């Protein structure tokens, strides 16, 4: 019987096999990631110094803000993918560990069974096969015992075969666990580097946004800016509407589920539709205050028609639901779906953020029918 210490030795052999290579590769990977991160920080620092020296105007600052928020979106999307891979890796490790425990127990049980069979054979030693061949005093007894011996021998052989298969599978599982452990270490390092890069870009964005807000400090300038932003969104929605018409989709629309649609993000809902925003500009949607990086989900199945950065609204997704209905998701940190992608009801299409010059994380949400803004609170299950 293989003891617990024996299994530890087997596992240790597999661990030692790749330890040297793993350590070297991880060290090299960490150095590369640190160098890339430092290079990024220097680039962002240089850009902020240039902006300060040149006294960039509002238009230039908007361009820099757009670039920062698009890069934040890419970094956040990569980080989200790494989170998913880490979760999958840990789940796979749990499954392998469970199989490993089952195999070890099966091997122990098989050892006990084989030992029992060997003891039984030893105790029945007077039925020596050679003796029975030459001294057949009782033919019927001999035939019966011979049949028994064949049966026992066959069962024992099958058990030995299963034992060997379990031992081989245990070796495979142990090696897979080691491989998953290596992957996990690499993913954790990758996650740390991505988080650091994301933080660096967020700091760059905050500095750019502060400069931009100083440039449009007066109420008149803010109203003018909001009107321009709204026109940009209307243009994007109209282009999406035309694309939906050209696509000739057979989607069912939203009418049948009015008042029953799921809220697209978890958080505090601000029912702003129709209220004055500033000047003559009124809200065309609602705002959901949610945790940064949390999921933005579709209110119904459909097709993504627009997925890009838009002035004043940041990273925006527009989903066509058919029969003239569209939903708009703005201020995202990252876009997980691209134009042309089909999406299911409740599928994650973005991450909550504060793009578009927002000072706190939230989701800006609209529902449109043939271009006209509808009050989302009448359609969502709030």
CATH number at 265 reads 2.70.70.10
**Pairing outcome for strands 281-282 and 276-278:** antiparallel
Q: Alpha-carbon distance 232 to 229, whole Å?
A: 5
Query: What is the per-residue pLDDT for 22?
Result: 43
Query: What is the per-residue pLDDT for 300?
Result: 96
Lowest-confidence segment of 1-5, 134-138, 304-308 by average pLDDT = 1-5
Nearest residue to 70 via CA among 332, 252, 370: 332
Looking from the CA of 176 toward its CB, the CA atoms found within 13 Å total 17
Q: Among residues 185, 215, 245, which one ends one of the domains?
A: 215
Taking residue 161's Cβ as centre, other Cβ atoms within 10 Å add up to 10
pLDDT digits (tens, 9 = 90+) for 188-240: 888 888 888 888 888 888 888 887 777 766 656 767 777 888 888 888 888 88
pTM above 0.75, yes or no: no
Cα four-point dihedral sign 236, 238, 239, 244: positive
Residues 225 and 180 in one domain: no
Would you give the end-to-end CA distance of the chain in angstroms?
63
Pick left, alpha or beta for residue 7 (phi over 0 → left; psi -120 to 50 → alpha; otherwise beta). Answer: alpha
φ/ψ of 126, rounded to 5, equals -70, -10
Residues 175 and 319 in one domain: no
**What number is the average pLDDT over the span 329-335?**
96
**What number is the average pLDDT over the span 37-48?**
71
Angle (CA) 301-306-309 rounded to 5° is 130
Residues 98 and 116 in one domain: yes
Enumerate the H helices of the chain as residue ranges.
4-54, 58-123, 129-134, 139-215, 219-247
φ/ψ of 194, rounded to 5, equals -65, -40
Residues 46 and 188 in one domain: yes
Residues 79 and 209 in one domain: yes
Residues 302 and 206 in one domain: no
Q: Among residues 189, 215, 241, which one ends one of the domains?
A: 215
The pLDDT of residue 340 is above 50: yes
Ranges of beta strands (E only) in 232-324 are 268-270, 276-278, 281-282, 286-289, 295-297, 302-310, 314-322
Residues 119 and 228 in one domain: no
Residues 134 and 42 in one domain: yes
Structure confidence at residue 56 as a pLDDT band (50, 70, 90)? low
Q: Which domain holds residue 103?
A: 4-215
Query: What is the per-residue pLDDT for 2?
Result: 43
Structure confidence at residue 144 as a pLDDT band (50, 70, 90)? low
For 357, the 3-state DSSP assignment is coil
Q: What residues have CB less than 8 Å from 101, skipping those under 6 apart?
A: none
pLDDT digits (tens, 9 = 90+) for 253-307: 999 999 999 999 999 999 999 998 877 788 999 999 999 999 999 999 999 999 9
The pLDDT of residue 126 is above 50: no
The count of domains in the chain is 2
Nearest residue to 212 via CA among 356, 45, 49, 333: 356
Q: Among residues 200, 215, 230, which one ends one of the domains?
A: 215
Residues 312 and 299 in one domain: yes
Residues 316 and 207 in one domain: no
């Amino acid at each position: 019987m293989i003891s617990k210490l024996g299994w530890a030795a087997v596992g240790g052999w597999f661990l030692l096999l790749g330890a040297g290579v793993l350590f070297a590769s991880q060290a090299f990977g960490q150095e590369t990631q640190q160098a890339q991160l430092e290079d990024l920080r220097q680039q962002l620092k240089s850009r902020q110094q240039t902006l300060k020296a040149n006294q960039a105007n509002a238009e230039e600052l908007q361009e820099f803000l757009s670039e920062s928020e698009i890069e934040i979106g890419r970094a956040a999307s990569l980080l989200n993918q790494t989170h998913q891979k880490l979760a999958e890796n840990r789940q796979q490790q749990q499954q392998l560990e469970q199989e490993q425990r089952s195999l070890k127990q099966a091997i122990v049980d098989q050892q006990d069974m084989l030992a029992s069979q060997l003891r039984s054979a030893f105790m029945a030693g007077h039925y020596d096969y050679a003796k029975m061949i030459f001294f057949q005093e009782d033919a019927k007894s001999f035939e019966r015992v011979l049949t028994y011996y064949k049966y026992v021998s066959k069962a024992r052989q099958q058990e030995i075969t299963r034992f060997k298969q379990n031992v081989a599978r245990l070796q495979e599982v142990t090696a897979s666990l080691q491989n998953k452990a290596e992957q996990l270490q690499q993913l954790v390092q990758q996650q740390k580097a991505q988080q650091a890069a994301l933080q660096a870009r967020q700091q760059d964005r905050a500095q750019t946004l502060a400069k931009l807000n100083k440039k449009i400090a007066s109420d008149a300038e803010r109203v003018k800016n909001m009107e321009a932003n709204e026109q940009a969104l209307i243009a994007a929605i109209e282009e999406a509407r035309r694309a939906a018409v050209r696509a000739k989709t057979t989607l069912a629309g939203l009418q049948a589920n009015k008042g029953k649609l799921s809220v697209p993000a978890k958080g505090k809902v601000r029912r702003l539709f129709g209220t004055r925003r500033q000047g003559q500009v009124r809200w065309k949607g609602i705002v959901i205050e949610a945790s940064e990086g949390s999921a933005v989900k579709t209110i119904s199945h459909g097709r993504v028609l627009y997925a890009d950065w838009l002035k004043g609204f940041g990273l925006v997704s527009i989903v066509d639901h058919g029969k003239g209905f569209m939903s708009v998701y703005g201020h995202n940190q990252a876009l997980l779906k691209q134009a042309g992608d089909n999406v299911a009801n409740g599928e994650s299409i973005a991450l909550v953020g504060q793009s578009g010059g927002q000072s706190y994380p939230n989701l800006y949400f609209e529902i449109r029918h043939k271009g006209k803004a509808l009050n989302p609170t009448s359609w969502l299950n709030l």
